[in-house]
Amino acid sequence: MLAIPIFLCLLVGPHAKWVKRFLPSTANRIVFVVIVAALIVVWIVQGTGSVTHGDRGGYITLTFAVLCGAALYRFIYDWWLRTPPETP
């Protein structure tokens, strides 16, 4: 259940008004990114474990982990890596 709000936060992006209110400072952003990255690693481990034991539900977990990973990358790129536009 925790994954759904995290995924929504990642999909909306860092510039949404409620995300800025939820993560106002750089320290909060760093903690959020570390927690989400750890969750993605846990989902990958659980998914691969399920797939190795023959459970098809592991594919859903792996797919969700990949989607969250891509959304996290976009989130990090928008927040820290994108250069601000130059003003004339």
Whether residue 22 is contained in a domain is answered as no
Q: Does residue 3 carry a pLDDT above 80?
A: no
The pLDDT value recorded for residue 1 is 64
Q: Could you tell me which residues come within 8 angstroms of residue 68 by beta carbon, excluding any fewer than 6 positions away?
A: 3, 6, 7, 10, 36, 39, 40, 43
d(CA 50, CA 70): 22
In 3D space, the residue among 30, 32, 41 whose CA is nearest the CA of residue 69 turns out to be 41
In 3D space, the residue among 60, 34, 33 whose CA is nearest the CA of residue 46 turns out to be 60
**pLDDT tens-digit readout, 8-32:** 878 888 788 888 888 888 888 888 8
Whether residue 46 is contained in a domain is answered as yes
Q: Does residue 58 carry a pLDDT above 70?
A: yes
pTM, full prediction = 0.81
Whether residue 55 is contained in a domain is answered as yes
C-alpha distances (whole Å) from 42 to each of 35, 57, 62 are: 11, 15, 10
Domain that holds residue 41: 31-79
pLDDT band at 59 (very low <50, low <70, confident <90, very high): very high
Could you give the number of structural domains in the chain? 1
Whether residue 48 is contained in a domain is answered as yes
